[in-house]
Chains A and B, each alone.
Chain A
Amino acid sequence: AQTVTQSQPEMSVQEAETVTLSCTYDTSESDYYLFWYKQPPSRQMILVIRQEAYKQQNATENRFSVNFQKAAKSFSLKISDSQLGDAAMYFCAYRRSGTYKYIFGTGTRLKVLA
């Protein structure tokens, strides 16, 4: 069975600095998608970034980028120039291609210090 592991329950970063959140996953599949979701205090989940496993190029969305290491089954999220509004829970998620089922990690709480 596929699993997603986020080993950092909580992280802190100084405003304007860079922080990296870790995610590892376990799968025997070769075609899948990976996601990072943000859940602010309002608890509304928002998609931050997604990565297709067949793409070697790492996805980027403005200040957010990923380091996708397929062989190592690692999918970390880098947040550059951290802002107070980045403070939230961040969830890593996996989805096998051709299915509708998502598997989420347990989340990392990010604190941004002014």
Chain B
Amino acid sequence: DGGITQSPKYLFRKEGQNVTLSCEQNLNHDAMYWYRQDPGQGLRLIYYSQIVNDFQKGDIAEGYSVSREKKESFPLTVTSAQKNPTAFYLCASETQGVRGNEQFFGPGTRLTVL
């Protein structure tokens, strides 16, 4: 089945460690996104990528890094520079369909810093 997978579902990190969240899609979508979700704040954009080997910072990119070496994959690294990384992280991809642009979301990764 086509879709977006994120792994792991739960992730624990010690302070000072970098950690990488995986996002894979087999929908053949060009655009991919990373969002952070905190209670009461909705979704905030971290990074997005329109095509392979290209990505742009969102509103809260500090302390995060991404790569887009393959169309299917858009991993997010949470670095030790991120002051408060405990949050729920959502990955999405986007297609231009008959109804226009539509984002499809993965199931998310819950990151907890110990």
Contacts and interface: CB of A to CB of B under 8 A. Distances in A.
Contact of A106 (B42, B56, B101, B105): B42
Contact of A101 (B42, B48, B90, B92): B48
A6 B99 CA distance: 25
Interface string A18-59: 000000000000000100000000111111001010000000
Contact of B107 (A43, A95, A103): A43
Main secondary structure of the interface of B (DSSP, over half): strand
A63 B101 CA distance: 22
Nearest to B105: A45
Contacts of B31: 100
Given A101-B45, A106-B42, A42 B107 contact: yes
B102 interface: yes
A45 B6 CA distance: 13
Interface string B76-94: 0000000000001010101
B16 interface: no
B100 A52 contact: yes
Given A43-B88, A43-B108, A101-B48, A33 B101 contact: yes
Contacts of B90: 45
A75 interface: no
Contacts, number: 52
B105 A44 contact: yes
Interface in B19-50: 31, 33, 35, 40-45, 48, 50
A9 to B, nearest CB: 8
A68 interface: no
A68 to B, nearest CB: 15
B102 A50 contact: yes
Contacts of B8: none
Closest 5 CB pairs of A and B: A45-B105, A104-B43, A106-B42, A104-B42, A43-B108
10 contacts: A6-B42, A44-B105, A44-B107, A47-B102, A47-B103, A100-B31, A100-B33, A101-B45, A101-B48, A101-B58
